[in-house]
Amino acid sequence: MTKQSISFCDNPVWKFLSSVRLAIVLLILLAVTSIAGTVIPQGETMQFYLEKYGPNLFRLIKSAQLYQMYDAWWFLSIMIFFAVNLIVCTINRVPITMQLYSRDFLDVTKERLLRMSASARIALGSSEKSVRVVEVFKKVAGKSRARSLAGSELFLVESGKWGYWGLYILHSSIIVIMVGALIGSLLGFKGNLMLFEGETSDVAVERGSDKNIPLGFTVKCDDFNVEFYDNGAPKEYLSELTILENEKEMLKKTIKVNDPLRYKGITFYQSSFDSAPEVKFHIVSASGSSKDLSIPAFERSLWKETGLQFGLMRFLPNVHGTVAAHIWIGDEQNEPQAIWFVQGREKEFTFGGNLYKASVKEVSQRFMTGLQVKKDPGVWVVWLGCTLLIVGFVVVFWVPHVRIWLWVGEEDGNIVAIIAGQSNKNQIAFNKDFEKIKQALRSSIGE
């Protein structure tokens, strides 16, 4: 390491950013806050948090953005800070790794080989046996490098030297995953969409803010089906969706739970369903004209000939054994009215100076599908990071740097061979391989 790099590492800011204690503190912060994000439901409405947690906790949840914690500025700041700490620690370790990687392992003495825990001396006695031992060593141990010394030869079989870089793959994978999460947080969105059968929409409602997000195309719910168990619990629900652009059908798919629709980077998941009443309404004017209307929830129905509009304000499924509906009635000239009607009972009322008779004939349920809408452009970056993470773990834990030496030369007037080896991990497997090579060498000379 150069004097310049040493002075650089002695910088107090650099030392702080490369601190292992800092890494531990940041990891604990991420773990604790992630627990909070798991316990507190994410992406619900403000009214939900107010009703569930009360005004005091609600103020904390709102001010700290705990309702969308993983997108909060402070959580992203911790992630960025941890990424910087990881990068600095990685840079600090590079010189050590370079030193290990570039080290000449053929620069070793006979005495050092004998001090290794895995080593053995084999008496050869003749040059013919030494040639045979070298040939067997190359055949059994693998491709070797050699160096001629004074009155001796040294052979080295080396594998897994590149495994020292596994740690950098591991660190890089964590940074890539964080970058992918940031991309998804900053450029993506999570929203919801409720559609009645036959209804279309070109916007989704952002979770947590109720802001409309343009989709860039139109999604239509052609049909919705739900099956129930005998106890009334939903068994399966499916939505037939169509994607439209400029009124042209681009894609059609029936989605269900865990089988979403994807289009232009936006994914539609089947997440829920709901239903709303639809009232069949019969009305007769004093002049004798009549009209049968369907009044669905959240919409208005028009009696075109009279200009009257009707809307369903409230619905009660059981009022003394029958159904009651609160119907809104209005037009462009008169003050609107809201009148209760009971199914099967005709009721007279006056509106705009005219007398009418009306009744609720039938009530049906109109289903709507609940879709979770998600755009995450960083998801492939996250998958890349996860792949690198697996590769990094494999390299770090299962790729050992194995070195096996064979020294052949004269010792006290006799020709001998010394075999020695080292491994930085997976010692049990290394010992087995070393014993096989050693026994092969002994067998080659008749021992």
Residue 339 three-state SS: strand
Reported as a single tens digit per residue, the pLDDT across 276-309 is: 888 999 999 988 899 999 998 888 899 998 899 9
Average pLDDT over residues 403-414: 91
What is d(CA 78, CA 37) in angstroms, rounded to the nearest whole number?
14
Provide the token pair at 381.
Answer: 């970056």
Q: Which residues contact 122 (CB under 8 A, 6 or more apart)?
A: 133, 416, 417, 418, 419, 441, 442, 445, 447
Reported as a single tens digit per residue, the pLDDT across 132-151 is: 999 999 999 999 999 988 88
pLDDT tops 60 at residue 3: no
Average pLDDT over residues 382-411: 93
**Claim: this prediction has a pTM higher than 0.85:** no
Q: Using alpha carbons only, how large is the chain's radius of gyration in Å?
A: 38
Reported as a single tens digit per residue, the pLDDT across 85-123 is: 989 988 888 888 888 888 899 999 999 999 999 999 999
What DSSP assignment string belongs to 83-149?
A: HHHHHHHHHHHHHHHHHHHH--TT---HHHHHHSSEEEEEE--SHHHHHHHHHHHHHHH-S-EEEEE
Task: Give the residue among 176, 223, 173 at the shortest CA–CA distance from 198.
Answer: 223
- Mean pLDDT, all residues of the chain: 89
pLDDT band at residue 6, thresholds of 50, 70 and 90? very low
CATH fold for domain 107-160+403-444: TATA-Binding Protein (3.30.310)
**HEC per residue, 340-403:** EEEECCCEEEEECCEEEEEEEEEEEEEEEEEEEEEECCCHHHHHHHHHHHHHHHHHHHHCCCEE
pLDDT of residue 155: 95
Provide the token pair at 167.
Answer: 């740690």
pLDDT of residue 9: 62
CATH (residue range 186-275+369-389)? 2.60.98
Reported as a single tens digit per residue, the pLDDT across 181-240 is: 889 888 898 899 999 888 999 999 987 677 899 999 999 999 998 888 887 777 888 999
Provide the token pair at 349.
Answer: 């009322």
Provide the token pair at 440.
Answer: 């092969």
More confident residue, 433 or 72: 433
Domain parsing of the chain, residue ranges = 3-100, 107-160+403-444, 186-275+369-389, 277-365
Are 136 and 441 contacting, i.e. CB atoms less than 8 angstroms apart? Answer: yes
Q: Other CB atoms closer than 10 Å to residue 221's CB: what's the count?
A: 22
pLDDT of residue 2: 46
Reported as a single tens digit per residue, the pLDDT across 239-283 is: 999 999 998 999 999 999 889 999 999 999 998 888 888 899 999
Instruction: Tell me whether the CATH fold assigned to 107-160+403-444 matches the one assigned to 186-275+369-389.
Output: no
